[in-house]
Amino acid sequence: MTGFGEAEQDSDLGRVRVEMRTVNHRYLNVQVRVPGGMDRLQNTLEAHVRSRFARGHLTLRVSLGPGSTDDPDAVPVDVERARGYRNALRRLQEELGVGGSVDVGLIAGFREVFREPEAEAGAEELDPELVLELTDQAADQVLEMREAEGARLAQDLSQRLDAMEVELEAIEVRAPERLVEHRDRLRETVRELLDGQAPVDEDRIAREIAHLAERWDIHEELVRFRSHLEMFRDTLEAGSPDGVGKRFGFIAQEVLREVNTMGSKANDAELAQHVVNLKGEVERLREQLENIE
């Protein structure tokens, strides 16, 4: 699930800023970036983040820069870096023998010129508790965004389940109809072959239909499918502080198994089409589950 959070605070060493971003990922993947001198905090921060998240690709960035300025419109400019770019460009002109002017527009194209330089000097003395506190503030914002996204996903999943219910009802109606139609076709075929020379053996036809009914029976699959959907809805409505993504994934896997079995027993164009529609909804459901913690 996606989310973004940030927090910053002035300290004796400069302004400490923490940014946290998350994107969809099947597992929990954490990357922590800290200024030089703060390497000792990297493992601590990663463990702290893992205690609050269970899924997603998460990037945490800690920076230490100059303190806040009285001018809210001031833009930090790295003059030394800009001078270095200018000298490097002029050296390229001399070495390659190319023309053109090195002006402010060209230099402004380098984003690092307007990036606030990290004040790495003394970063090793930064208070770990302050960094953890800012990390928690950023994490709270990320979780708030993820919860809002989760509410929208829950609504979408509920609609997917409703669509599956519609297809299931159509399958339940069609399943016995195909047997009746096949029995009638079989009786008519036998009657045409006998051409009135002998009576139709209804008992033989009944045994054949009974055999087909056993082979084509999908009652058990339908019962299990509905049971899985009920379990899915209960989990969706109850929620869990520990996350439900993996539980949903397991249920969806079992649902797909039942759909595939029904498809192998369809033996009817109309019924097969409903099964295909049902499988499509299941696949879309599984794709959406990749976004859920």
* Backbone CA torsion sign across 71, 126, 139, 77: positive
What the block records as the tokens of 162 is 């409703």
Asked whether residue 175 falls in the same domain as residue 247, the answer is yes
**Which pLDDT score is estimated for 119?**
45
**Which pLDDT score is estimated for 118?**
47
Residue where a domain terminates, one of 63, 91, 115: 115
**Which pLDDT score is estimated for 218?**
81
Q: How many CB atoms lie within 10 A of CB 292?
A: 23
**Which pLDDT score is estimated for 203?**
73
CA distances (Å), origin 213, targets 217, 224, 225, 254, 274: 6, 19, 20, 24, 19
The answer to whether the predicted template modeling score (pTM) of the entire model surpasses 0.75 is no
- The three-state DSSP-derived secondary structure of 81-106 is HHHHHHHHHHHHHHHHCCCCCCCHHH
Q: Is residue 8 assigned to a domain?
A: no
Asked whether residue 89 falls in the same domain as residue 198, the answer is no
**Which pLDDT score is estimated for 200?**
61
Asked whether residue 163 falls in the same domain as residue 277, the answer is yes
Which residues neighbour 102 within 8 Å (Cβ) at sequence distance 6 or greater? Answer: 86, 89, 90, 93
Asked whether residue 87 falls in the same domain as residue 197, the answer is no
**Which pLDDT score is estimated for 211?**
67
Asked whether residue 100 falls in the same domain as residue 226, the answer is no
Asked whether residue 82 falls in the same domain as residue 208, the answer is no
Going from the first residue of the chain to its last (293 residues), give the mean pLDDT of each consecutive group of 10, the final group possibly shorter. 88 86 86 83 91 89 70 67 88 84 84 60 72 94 89 87 91 80 70 65 70 73 90 81 74 89 83 90 85 72
Q: Is residue 97 assigned to a domain?
A: yes
Q: How many domains does the chain have?
A: 2
d(CA 3, CA 173): 44
Asked whether residue 154 falls in the same domain as residue 231, the answer is yes
Where in the sequence is the domain holding 98, given as residue range(s)? Answer: 77-115
Q: Is residue 100 assigned to a domain?
A: yes
Residue where a domain terminates, one of 115, 132, 167: 115
Helix axes 269-289, 128-194, angle to 10 degrees: 170
